[in-house]
Amino acid sequence: MKDLSIYFQPANVERSLIEGTIGASVDVHSDNGFPEIERGAIAVFSVPEYRNGKVAFETVQDTFRDDFYGLHIGDNWSKKLYDLGIITPGGSIDDTYFAVAQTVSELVKNDILPIIIGGGQDLTLACYKGFESLEQMINICAVDSKLDVGEPNEAVRSDGYVSHLLMQRPCYLFNYANIGMQRPLVAKKEVDLFDKLYFDVCRLGAFNADFRVAEPYLRNSDLLTIDFTSIKSSETDATKYGNANGLYAEQICQIAKYAGMSDKMSCLGIFDIVPGHGEVASNLLAQILWYFLDGVAQRVGDFPVGTKKNYTKFHVHLDDFTDDLVFYKSDKSSRWWLEVKYLAKDNAKYERHCLVPCDQEDYNRALENVIPNLWWKTLQKLS
């Protein structure tokens, strides 16, 4: 594994050493040296890079660790946890992007799950670049009240980076999903672009009606990026955050839990955190991390690749369709997948994307002769 210590400085935060707490079990980058990270672990680090953010900050206070270290570890947490410290912003923002991309790339290649805290959400682009070395198509899910499309001929911004993702060549982005979009905050042309690209949007209203609708999007993603400002400001710090509407604290923690449980999820970023925010916001950030880690501890390894002997297979015949729709239900978790058959010369490129996470409602609608929307969208992207 490459030496990553050149990008980091220690966080130098007093941590709880009370038995059973995260602080007592985490391996921390300190003045004594950079930790030797083992495969299959989880690595947390922060990146106070706000130059392309919604607001530029001259000083940055990193306070979430105080609350995070004081939380008690959950049941069956077997993965080793590391705190790599802080990636200091470089001379230019591109230097910071490079450091983040190199770190994410090296960690993911070694089966280590990176969690990036802080900085503007434009760091999603840097995280994506970290996956480029894998040379496989990936899915991104963003928890955000906006779509953050931006203009490709303008500089990358925290609220305008998706267009730059789409312009990458070669492009390894297969799907992009949004959870929590608030329509009054989004231009119609951005909504139309997502429709044209067959991307997924789970509006805030739909999520509020049933939070379970977000689970398949999270289960289908390799990278999750959370905009902290998508949380209702009364749940964080109304003097620092301005979203009158938005997700509640328990909802963002449920999203984090679902994300952690996904076998596919390989990287988490929580961005647009206002430095120096209040105690409540810092405590909520720590709990989001806790629920994500608790989800990881509950993974059952049921993503249906290779043999499917531990799955119940369902065939559904639809009128005017030659082939049946094929659903799989996991015997381990009772979660569902829908198979999208596609013949192509480069089958390996899309193999991971031909089994799409869904829920039982998609199966029930198929029984009523209704083609699942996710089947149609996936087929269009494969074509």
Q: What is the pLDDT of residues 60-90, one digit of tens each?
A: 556 789 999 999 999 999 999 999 999 989 9
Tokens of 12: 């130098």
Is residue 11 pLDDT above 90, yes or no?
Answer: no
Distance CA 363, CA 101 (A): 39
pTM of the model as a whole: 0.94
pLDDT for 346: 56
Give whichever of 51-60, 102-111, 369-378 has the largest mean pLDDT. Answer: 102-111
Domain that holds residue 21: 5-297
Same domain, 285 and 341: no
Looking at the structure of the chain, the number of domains it has is 2
Same domain, 332 and 255: no
Same domain, 14 and 157: yes
Same domain, 289 and 333: no
Is residue 54 pLDDT above 80, yes or no?
Answer: no
Average pLDDT score over residue span 130-155: 94
Is residue 1 pLDDT above 80, yes or no?
Answer: yes
Long-range pairs for 332-339: beta carbons < 8 A, 24 or more residues apart: 332/300, 332/301, 332/302, 333/300, 333/302, 335/219, 335/302, 336/360, 336/362, 336/363, 337/304, 338/362, 338/363, 338/372, 338/374, 338/375
Same domain, 283 and 335: no
Same domain, 136 and 48: yes
Residue-wise pLDDT for 287-345, tens only, equals 999 999 999 999 998 876 666 777 999 999 999 888 899 999 999 899 999 999 876 55
Same domain, 80 and 176: yes
